[in-house]
Amino acid sequence: MTQLSLAKWWTTLENNAVRCELCPRHCVIPENAHGYCAVRQNHSGELFSLAFGRPVSIAIDPIEKKPLARFLPGTRTFSLGTFGCNLGCIFCQNDSLSRETYTETDLGQFIPPEQLVELAQEHHCPSISYTYNEPTVFAEYVCDIARLAHAAGLKNVLVSNGFIEDQPADELYPLMDATNIDMKGFSQSFYDRMCQASLAPVLHSLEKMHSLGVHLEITTLVIPGQNDDLEELSKWLDWVDAHLGRETPLHFSAYHPAYRCRIPRTPPATLYAIRDLAVQYGFPNVFLGNI
Ligand code: SF4
């Protein structure tokens, strides 16, 4: 019989509906339906995590691929992801995971947290990365693995969009040793238009990670005409300077057309101009990717 894990961070509503309080989307989920991320499902008035125990992508990557430039450099990280995402980015570069969900056959499989930690150790990886899709949607699984990983002397790495509620973040974030937060754009209008989401919770998450002392790097996928305006970027650099500090490593990556977005790929010159601006602003750790 399929084993489903009870989710955390939800409340009961009338008529066996529930409200998920894991991310700011606060999905109201009727009986037998799932939330926006497609991996949290209401069964008989209780919310279950379909993704708990069901990684669909496992690999060993260089830590620089997360990307993290200033954390355990030169090491390999045991990486895993599931289906599902709580944002709706029309330019998603990984929609085969983020926009998919589990079939009945998938749900018959289960990998307990202990097994993943053992696998990471067998492959001599000093860290485990929660990555590929959005780890917020499988936060319960991340927390359980991360606690065991720490007990085994391994580090935890979160690669996230930062779109999470305070209560789960307060449980998840202190278990992390390093994180790369994906800063999709620098304005509410970008998050509305391109991601069906909001900017403020992401900024809040960045500040929370910083205040916890978790190693923090930030990545932006640069999309021509959407988030490559240098004036807007200047304001973003001011924000990082004021709230996180100029030492924060910043990654800017080239986008390529994917999912529902047909804007042509990012020219290298755009990335070079962004790097020049950030360096002029006094940011010493600026990295370009996908060029
Ligand atoms: S985690 Fe998923 S189900 Fe929960 S509020 Fe966010 S999108 Fe909705």
CATH of the domain at 152: 3.20.20.70
Q: What is the mean pLDDT of residues 75-100?
A: 96
Band (pLDDT 50/70/90 cuts) for residue 135 is: very high
In a shared domain, residues 226 and 98: yes
Number of domains in the chain: 2
155's torsion region: left (phi>0), alpha (psi -120 to 50) or beta? beta
In a shared domain, residues 138 and 246: yes
In a shared domain, residues 39 and 64: no
List pLDDT tens digits, range 10-55: 999 999 999 999 999 999 999 999 999 999 999 999 999 999 999 9
Cα 86 to averaged position of ligand 1 atoms, centre (Å): 6
Band (pLDDT 50/70/90 cuts) for residue 105 is: confident
Tell me, what's the pLDDT at 173?
98
Mean residue pLDDT of the chain comes to: 97
In a shared domain, residues 152 and 109: yes
In a shared domain, residues 29 and 111: no
In a shared domain, residues 42 and 61: no
Band (pLDDT 50/70/90 cuts) for residue 209 is: very high
In a shared domain, residues 45 and 62: no
Cα 182 to averaged position of ligand 1 atoms, centre (Å): 18
Tokens of 150: 């720490």
For residue 10, list its beta bridge partners: 20
pLDDT higher than 90, residue 2: no
pLDDT higher than 70, residue 8: yes
- C-beta of residue 211 within 8 angstroms of C-beta of residue 176: no
In a shared domain, residues 143 and 283: yes
Q: What is the mean pLDDT of residues 169-190?
A: 98
**Test site for ligand 1: of 27, 28, 83, 164, most ligand atoms within 8 A of the Cβ:** 27
In a shared domain, residues 212 and 86: yes
| Structural domain containing residue 37 | 5-49
In a shared domain, residues 30 and 61: no
In a shared domain, residues 40 and 64: no
Cα 141 to averaged position of ligand 1 atoms, centre (Å): 15
CA distances (Å), 177 to each of 87, 128, 150, 216, 281, in order? Answer: 24, 10, 10, 9, 28
pLDDT higher than 90, residue 221: yes
pLDDT higher than 90, residue 3: no
pTM strictly above 0.95: yes
Band (pLDDT 50/70/90 cuts) for residue 123 is: very high
Tell me, what's the pLDDT at 241?
98
In a shared domain, residues 124 and 217: yes
pLDDT higher than 90, residue 227: yes
Pick from 49, 67, 82: which residue ends a domain? 49
Task: Return d(Cα 137, Cα 86) in angstroms, integer.
Answer: 7
What is the Cβ-side half-sphere exposure of residue 130, based on CA atoms within 13 angstroms? 36
**Test site for ligand 1: of 6, 25, 42, most ligand atoms within 8 A of the Cβ:** 25
Secondary structure (3-state) at 202: helix
Pick from 13, 28, 49: which residue ends a domain? 49
Q: What is the share, in percent, of the chain residues with pLDDT greater than 70?
A: 99
**Test site for ligand 1: of 8, 9, 23, most ligand atoms within 8 A of the Cβ:** 23
Q: What is the mean pLDDT of residues 190-200?
A: 98
